[in-house]
Amino acid sequence: MERFVLVFNMTLFQNKYRVESTRLPYWDYSSDGWYFVTICTKNREEHFGKIQNYFMGLSNIGCAAAKFWNEIPNHFPFTRLDEWVVMPNHVHGIIIIDNHIVETRDLASLQWDENEFGPLKKNSLQSIIHGFKSSITRWCNVNNHKNFAWQPRFHDRIIRNEKELNEIRKYIYYNPQMWN
């Protein structure tokens, strides 16, 4: 019987082991591009609603998640949104970073706060996701949803071509119908 062991490159942060970033080390995540992201709730708890008859029924937190997702371009005017969906325990979406959208505005005023691992690169995918997650968390705290929490990280994929883009769009669109 063969046994496989997964080995992660781990480092210590504040005397705790953590898996190194899955981000591409040579890629500037503030550069123009199409990014597929998945953001999950802590322990995959279903805070955002339920799937019924293949359609997503949003809870109050799910409605807030949809509202704040739609508002991303208001806070980051160099972004556009493509296909996205709020699922019971995660959000899938395509974020387009296009630095040519805003050329004359002072983007420094749009920078979000630092996270627990240090400063976020201005106008990066990480700062966008951090801002989105923070807005939901603040909304939950104000609206007495104290048990809500996110997984500390998110998954991303740089979309490399139109075929891949169309496959990801289809995956996002049909995600509620594939839910078990």
The yes-or-no verdict on residue 16 having pLDDT over 70 is no
- Percent of the chain whose predicted confidence (pLDDT) is above 70: 74
What is the pLDDT, as a whole number, of residue 114? 47
DSSP category for residue 119: P
The yes-or-no verdict on residue 75 having pLDDT over 70 is yes
Residue 71: count of CB within 10 angstroms of its CB: 14
DSSP category for residue 7: -
Locus of tokens 């199409």: 34
Mean pLDDT, rounded, of the chain: 83
Lowest mean pLDDT among 5-14, 25-34, 78-87: 5-14
The yes-or-no verdict on residue 172 having pLDDT over 70 is yes
**33-178 placed in CATH 3.40.50.300:** no
Backbone angles phi, psi at 122, to 5 degrees: -55, 135
The yes-or-no verdict on residue 88 having pLDDT over 80 is yes
What is the pLDDT, as a whole number, of residue 112? 43
What is the pLDDT, as a whole number, of residue 100? 82
Amino acid identity of residue 52, one-letter, is Q
Q: What is the average per-residue pLDDT within 50-56?
A: 94
Query: What would the DSSP string read from start to end of 129-157?
Result: HHHHHHHHHHHHHHTT-TT--B-S--EEE
The yes-or-no verdict on residue 29 having pLDDT over 80 is no
Report residue 104's pLDDT band, with 50, 70 and 90 as the boundaries.
Answer: very low
Task: Report the alpha-carbon distance of residue 163 to residue 169 in Å, rounded.
Answer: 10
Task: Report the alpha-carbon distance of residue 37 to residue 73 in Å, rounded.
Answer: 16
Q: Which residues on adjacent β-strands are paired with residue 91?
A: 39, 86
pTM, whole model, 2 decimals?
A: 0.79
Give SS3 for 179.
coil
The yes-or-no verdict on residue 134 having pLDDT over 90 is yes
Task: Report the alpha-carbon distance of residue 88 to residue 59 in Å, rounded.
Answer: 9
